[in-house]
Amino acid sequence: MALSLGDITRGMTILYKGELYEVLEFEHVKRARGSAFVRAKLKELKTGRVFTETLRESDTIEHAFLETRPLQYLYQSGGTYVFMDKETYEQYELPASMVEDIKGYLLEGMDVQGLFYQGKIVKIKPPTFVVLAVVDTPPGVKGDTATGGEKPATLETGLVVKVPLFVKAGDKIKVDTRTGAYVERVSQ
């Protein structure tokens, strides 16, 4: 199904020039003379490459419908991440490049969503919020608000996020996987 430029939205998966892309950002541009176009920041799902492309009405752009299946993250071995289909128990070994942007949110045994296009897995989508333990963070200095009241914290997956001064090592915190931002401290 061909798309018009007005149908393009953030997060949408499109088929463009025979490849699958995720639309990360877009901007509709209307000029006084000439036709309108969309300047889009695209991520190629096969390679993970991110680039900016100018899309015009004359381009053939199709909406790629992805099938969603529940998966479980099993483990990481070398440069491979292993996931299991929760219904068929089939296992998928994915290269690190395919999970590069979400690996800091993955814990063994975690439920995730696998996005499939024509029967082939193309993307892993973590839960919107994950709870992770803080393994290292500098102590908060009382009255130090010159830095906005935040400090870096290293989580159990190696991910580093900004947290409020009261968070200490051993705390569990909720993190938004869409933005990588601290949400709240979770009681143990």
Q: What is the CATH number of the domain that holds 33?
A: 2.30.30.30
Confidence at 144, pLDDT banded by 50, 70, 90: low
Range of the structural domain that residue 25 is part of: 5-63
| Weakest-pLDDT range from 19-23, 57-61, 166-170, 176-180 | 57-61
User: Do residue 52 and residue 76 come from a single domain?
Assistant: no
Last residue of a domain, one of 104, 125, 146: 125
Please determine, for residue 128, whether its predicted confidence score (pLDDT) is greater than 80.
Answer: yes
One domain for residues 77 and 49 = no
pLDDT at 99 over 80: yes
Pairwise CA distance, residues 172 & 163, whole Å? 11
Verify that 18 and 31 share a domain, yes or no: yes
What are the phi and psi torsion angles at 58 (to 5°)? Answer: -75, -15
Residue 167 shares a structural domain with residue 133: yes
If asked whether residues 55 and 74 sit together in one domain, one would say no
* Single residue among 63, 78, 103 that ends a domain in this structure: 63
The 10 Å CB-count burial string (b at 16+, else e) for 14-30 is bbbeeebbbbeebeeee
What is the per-residue pLDDT across 45-93, written as a single tens digit (0 to 9) for each?
Answer: 887 788 898 888 888 888 888 899 999 999 999 889 999 999 999 999 9
For residues 86 and 115, membership in a common domain is answered with: yes
- Same domain membership, residue 136 and residue 98: no
Domain count, the chain: 3
What are the CA-CA distances from residue 11 to residues 63, 82, 125, 127 (Å)?
12, 24, 12, 15
For residue 178, give the CATH number of its domain: 2.40.50.140
